[in-house]
Amino acid sequence: MGILEKFKLDGKSAFVTGGARGIGKSIATALLEAGADVALVDLDITEARKTAGELKGIGPRVIAIETDVTDQTQVERMVGEIVNAFGALNVAFCNAGICINAKADEMTFEQWRKVMSVNADSVFLCCQAAGRQMIRQGSGGSIINTASMSAHIVNFPQPQCAYNASKAAVIQLTKSLAVEWVDKNIRVNSISPGYIATDLIRQSPSLIPLIKEWEKQCPMHRLGQPEELQAISVYLASDSSLYTTGSDFVIDGAFTCV
């Protein structure tokens, strides 16, 4: 099999949480283009259905599933719906996440718990449900978690201790699951994006003043584009990465190098 053939996802099915917009939408697009059936999993089902409509025709099947990824029952139901629709689950991309920029001495415990619930608890729940299904199938699979360069550094000047801690947890969870499930032929990896110019970032009034500071701090002097996370995502989902597990891939324009 040639190298380009190894990158194809023909016959595989995947889900992407937070798939309605931003990074999730970009990754879902890439998986579809590579040949996979894809489920867009999102709490905002209206936007997810809109995105599914936009993506129809660029690959095989694409569906939208409304799911609160912090709810174990809903997550398990979501995996069941995907198996019913596609016949199997081969790739799980756990991408949903939020950030609350609050000073540690002013942050409420409710704010802390919300960030940890969405960014860490949901990744465990989705990994667990996907892993169980892949174990039942007996053919392995690939799980990819979205961490962040914030797991490696402390962002400045904005305060975001809960986000940083939650993303560090994602990386350690990824490594732990990779070791636990290596004998099941389930690979578990994470990606750690730097600042990515999603519509949410570019259109958020509170973040616009920070963008120039972030660009100044980055050696490339720009934010990344969602599309610049597609290649690594397809690599990790495909058979070209069969010996890659327990790894975290930083895609940040060298931000964490300085």
**Residues with catalytic function:** 148, 163, 167
Distance CA 63, CA 65 (A): 7
- The residues pairing with 40 across neighbouring beta strands, listed in sequence order, are 16, 64
Eight-class DSSP state of 196: B
Eight-class DSSP state of 224: B
186: enclosing H helix or E strand: strand 186-193
Cis check: omega of the bond before 219, within 30 degrees of 0: no
92 vs 127, 227, 253, CA distance in Å? 7, 19, 26
Distance CA 123, CA 194 (A): 19
- The residues pairing with 32 across neighbouring beta strands, listed in sequence order, are none
Q: Where are the alpha helices (DSSP H) in 181-255?
A: 199-203, 208-217, 230-237
